[in-house]
Amino acid sequence: MYVIMQISDLHRSEASLLSNDELLSSLTASCGRFVEETPPIQPVDAIVVCGDLAHGLPINSTEYPEALDKQYADAFDLLTRLADTFVGGDRSKVIIVPGNHDVDWNKARDSMRVVTRTDESIQDLLTTQASPYRWSWRDQQLLKIENYETYEERFSYFYDFCSQFYQGANLAFKVDPKRSWNLFELDDGKILIAAFNSCIGADCYNLYGEIPAQSIAQSHLATVGNYELKVAVWHHDTRGIPRRSDYLDPDTIQLMIDKGYRLGLHGHRHRSGVLPFYLHATPDMHIMAIVGAGSLSAALGQLPHGLNQQYNVIEISDDYAHAHIHLREMVVPGVFSQGRMIELGGKSYGDIQWTRVPVNAIVNTGRGGGSIIALIENIENLVSKEEHEDAIAIIDATGDKLGHYGRQLLTRALFEAKKWRRLEEHLSSPQNPDELTKLVLASIALKHWPEAEQAILAAENSGHYSTLLLTDLRERLSAEKEMS
């Protein structure tokens, strides 16, 4: 049996009453009573933190950034002490993902400027995928992301937090906080954890949750070997209500099931809950169990009516096909005890199940085959370590063996290495908006103005690219030409 403590939504506003000392004391006392439960609960082996480490600050807060610095310092102190108390200080056994409260609203707003657009409807501007436009209902203004470098810094606090937290940890995979996914191993390598950023498109005006299909694909391809259980962790919940937009598309879970994930852990709802998801990709039905955690320490005014602070304890069975889940709830301030979960019939504990993933070899190594997945993992690792020359050399040597994903890897390696001339040649016939953007940026870097203009014109004539993207690329090209 392997036991995971699942906590989420640590964010505490000024209305929150519990200090780190009180929280740690409450959790320690609660876990100390596990042996008295019916049935008894086993000691914790790992901790999963499903986002919202800090509460955040409103736009134009007079306390920014000092108050935000303190919030993350408090979160760092709490998680460090939790690791020391429950997993012997081994931070590789603490998995952390960001939540919507970990998006720095002030930094996001700094990246935008107010614009006036009358040639296109606001609906089209706002609903186009990856649109740079935002609408502020409070100010009744249309805004546009103008500086993407500043926009990406909206996660800087979380990035710095993770870099510091995992420094020196004995990790099976290198953690790159800026990547939208990271991998961890638990239970002596029997359990794989994929930690996803479900806030990839979130900012001060966009609240929705999203895990790009590309992130799920890359995490899958970077996984080598057979695990007893693959677990996905993210922040947003998958159940939304009318007029709500801040939840995850359920189709995302279908992708996870297809890639072998069988247990999903999230937060965000401030309510513990369990939900099975199904995929019929073969005659057999594939099941993934989704477990939501309540808020560990949000103020009462931020909790659903009738609920208190909560956390979960998940006991994964030795057959890795089901788990016993226990809900712990703060029945009086500072005291965690048995809670009641609707999906468990009002009980504090119950079983959840999922289908095992069959272990099948996809490559016949007995007839001269090789492990494509291992090759891809090697390239991914080289790129993540910024060893671009080696990654490019391996991709070149494989020819077309890696297919379309090999093209994506080469594009990324060339772009990050700023090999503009090779990138311009590689993307001479762009196949998607990302490739078109990188092609134009490469031509701009080389001051190949006619080539950049031709690439944009060809894309426009094809009819496959959005007007917004083409307009932005033309504006970027014009600005760079004027500055040169």
Q: What is the mean pLDDT of residues 382-404?
A: 80
* 132 close to 468: Cβ distance less than 8 angstroms: yes
* pLDDT recorded at residue 262: 96
* pLDDT recorded at residue 197: 97
Pick left, alpha or beta for residue 474 (phi over 0 → left; psi -120 to 50 → alpha; otherwise beta): alpha
* pLDDT recorded at residue 439: 93
List the beta strands (DSSP E) in 333-420: 335-338, 349-353
Rg of the Cα trace of the chain? 24
Q: Which residue has the higher pLDDT, 229 or 38?
A: 229
**pLDDT band at 297; cut points 50, 70, 90:** confident
* pLDDT recorded at residue 97: 98
Residue-by-residue DSSP string for 327-341: EEEEEETTEEEE---
The pLDDT mean for the chain works out to 88
* pLDDT recorded at residue 366: 44
pLDDT in tens, 124-161: 677 777 788 898 999 999 999 999 999 999 999 999 99
Rounded to two decimals, what is the model's pTM?
0.76
* pLDDT recorded at residue 13: 67
Structural domains of the chain sorted by starting position, each given as residue range(s) with its CATH number in brackets: 2-111+149-353 (3.60.21.10), 113-146 (no CATH), 372-483 (1.25.40.10)
Q: Is 88 exposed, middle or buried (0-12, 13-18, 19+ CB in 10 A)?
A: exposed
Q: Dig out the tokens for 4 from the structure.
A: 């995971």
* 371 close to 398: Cβ distance less than 8 angstroms: no
* 42 close to 90: Cβ distance less than 8 angstroms: no
**pLDDT band at 15; cut points 50, 70, 90:** low
pLDDT at 21 over 60: yes
* pLDDT recorded at residue 364: 47
* 433 close to 466: Cβ distance less than 8 angstroms: yes
List the beta strands (DSSP E) in 62-103: 94-96
Q: Distance between CA 31 and CA 84 in Å, rounded? A: 14
